[in-house]
Amino acid sequence: MATRILIAGFQHETNTFAPSKAAYTNFERGEGFPAMVRGDDVLALRDVNIPAGGFIAAAERRGWSLLPVIWAGASPSAHVTEDAFERIAGEIVEAVRMGGFEAVYLDLHGAMVAEHTDDGEGTLLERVRAAAGPAVPLVASLDLHANVTGRMLREADALVAYRTYPHVDMAETGERAATLLERLLDRQAAGCCPLHRAARRLPFLIPINGMCTLLEPSRGMYAQLAALETGGVASLSFSPGFPAADFPECGPVIWGYGDDAASADAAVQALYDKMLADEAAWQVPFLSPDDAVREAMRLSDGAGKPVIIADTQDNPGAGGDSNTTGMLRALLRNGAKGAAIGLIWDPAAAAAAHCAGVGAFIEVALGGVSGVPGDEPLHARFEVVSLSDGVCRYDGPMMNGMLADVGPVACLRIDGVLIVVSGGKAQMLDRNLYRIGGVEPEKMKILVNKSSVHFRADFQGIAHAVLVAKAPGPMTADPADLPWTRLAPGIRMKPMGKAFWG
């Protein structure tokens, strides 16, 4: 009889400082993730670059029989509501209670905070473990930005995290989870004990912009991690963490599994020592909005490719709402030409543009409703340049093959700036999100992307240069600027920074 694996997915990255929460309807829509699916419909995710997709494909190659329950994800935001958490987690746990399988695989994020629990994944894993019993292998994949807790490590037999940011290896991580699960099943069949686990928590927070694996020091850290994963070391993971969750276990963790404790401990310690030695290199320089625009104008003069500015503090992939106007104002204030910005999430403005039609001029108050000091709506007269339904297929490395619906979409023009305005919220991680607004990103001189790092997957190859700006927004780029109250005492709030003492 084929090995039967229960599979489910529940993903959310929680910024406890963000303005809006994730309700059940957010998970139903998906918001940049696949929409909620159940049962055999989950298996259709095999072709999407998410961990569940990679796991499903790997499981089918092995001849395993899959029992899919649910897959649900929502755009990063503030806390997951208790209702949403309990409905989705309850569905997973109830399926586990029904039995009929030899192992469990969960596609999780690792940085979920709900209204009633700081440790969303730890709570879910604990419930799944109680329902499945101690002998059933339980494996989960995690995002690179997971805030890995002690409970998560205790309840799962193995956790495996992404190794790229932008996350181009999500499906590959699902495949690694399948390989790890196969190893656990083989050990169980041979009467061996589970894999030995080692873990170390780092004493400083890392800005998300510094985690990009296309750049040092992150690139070198993951290269050493891969080199150490050999022999008796079955798996190594490093999560730099999601540094916007105000609870004691927020922060970076290194962990691994081995056939023997000594091998796992030595590999994890080597990576921990490297991180401490390289701490200063994890610091990130940021530009003001005006400095970023002026530098982009200088660099783009005569360049054959656009200069890209990351509007990192309004990144909807980290809890922003993609509607602040600080970078747009800087473009206009400095007379930027051949510039585009996107996506700005403003359903009312998009609807007004569709009502008026292409070629019309509309007067609206665009964006600026974050409530963050220094952000306010831009009251102006805009030309409607292009309209669309906002439906597109992602062709870039991130979420490749996924259909997205961010409509209705309008491209508005003011002076020399094109603004792609959307009725739905999504991070600018794929060039097609500009194209649905009639903007050809390769032809622009300056692009301002509402993203922190993920955009690099599809934009790095067309960029003359990439700059990072700190315009007013809800996703504070420097964790030392956040009003922490519950961090672990003694943790440094940024690399080489001051320690938190409450």
Give the residue-averaged pLDDT of 175-190. 96
Please indicate whether residue 407 or residue 410 has the higher confidence score (pLDDT). 410
- Look at residue 474 and tell me whether its pLDDT is greater than 90: no
Q: State CA 214 to chain mean position distance.
A: 16
**Per-residue confidence (pLDDT) for residue 404, from 0 to 100:** 87
Q: For all residues of the chain together, what is the average pLDDT?
A: 96
Band of pLDDT at residue 104, cut at 50, 70 and 90: very high
Residue 492 CB-half CA count within 13 A: 15
Tens of pLDDT, residue by residue over 351-380, are 999 999 999 999 999 999 998 999 999 999
Tens of pLDDT, residue by residue over 255-309, are 999 999 999 999 999 999 999 999 999 999 899 999 999 999 999 999 999 999 9
Beta strand residue intervals within 390-432, DSSP E:
391-393, 403-405, 409-414, 417-422
**Per-residue confidence (pLDDT) for residue 106, from 0 to 100:** 98
Tens of pLDDT, residue by residue over 24-64, are 999 998 887 889 999 999 999 998 899 999 999 999 999 99
Give the residue-averaged pLDDT of 385-391. 97
* Residue 397, SS3 per DSSP: coil
Helix, strand, coil shares of the chain, percent, nearest 5, are 35, 25, 40
**Per-residue confidence (pLDDT) for residue 203, from 0 to 100:** 98
Distance from C-alpha of 286 to C-alpha of 448, rounded to nearest angstrom: 15
* Residue 185, SS3 per DSSP: helix
Question: Do 85 and 120 form a contact (C-beta atoms < 8 A)?
Answer: yes
Give the residue-averaged pLDDT of 79-103. 98
**Per-residue confidence (pLDDT) for residue 181, from 0 to 100:** 98
Sign for the CA dihedral angle at 446, 451, 455, 461 comes to positive
Note the residue count of the chain.
502
Give the percent of the chain with pLDDT over 70.
100
Question: Do 412 and 421 form a contact (C-beta atoms < 8 A)?
Answer: yes
Shortest CA distance to 72 belongs to which of 122, 37, 100? Answer: 37
**Residues of 97-131 as b/e, b for ≥16 C-beta within 10 angstroms?**
eeeebbbbbbbbbbbbbbeebbbbbbbbbbbbbeb
Catalogue all structural domains in the chain, each as residue range(s) with its CATH number. Answer: 4-282 (3.40.50.2300), 289-474 (no CATH)
Tell me the chain's radius of gyration from C-alpha atoms.
23
For tokens 């108050």, the residue is: 365
**Per-residue confidence (pLDDT) for residue 400, from 0 to 100:** 82
Looking at this protein, which amino acid is placed at residue 219? R
- How many CB atoms within 10 Å of residue 498? 9
Give the residue-averaged pLDDT of 178-202. 94
* Six-digit token string for 447: 């692009």
Distance from C-alpha of 297 to C-alpha of 292, rounded to nearest angstrom: 9
* Contacts of the segment 186-191: beta carbons below 8 A, 24+ positions apart: 188/135, 188/137
Residue 68 CB-half CA count within 13 A: 22
- Look at residue 192 and tell me whether its pLDDT is greater than 90: no
**Per-residue confidence (pLDDT) for residue 402, from 0 to 100:** 83
**Per-residue confidence (pLDDT) for residue 31, from 0 to 100:** 80
Question: Do 344 and 501 form a contact (C-beta atoms < 8 A)?
Answer: no
Question: Do 328 and 463 form a contact (C-beta atoms < 8 A)?
Answer: no
**Per-residue confidence (pLDDT) for residue 354, from 0 to 100:** 98
Beta-bridged to residue 10, according to DSSP, are: 72, 108
* Six-digit token string for 250: 């927020």
**Per-residue confidence (pLDDT) for residue 320, from 0 to 100:** 85
Q: State CA 236 to chain mean position distance.
A: 20
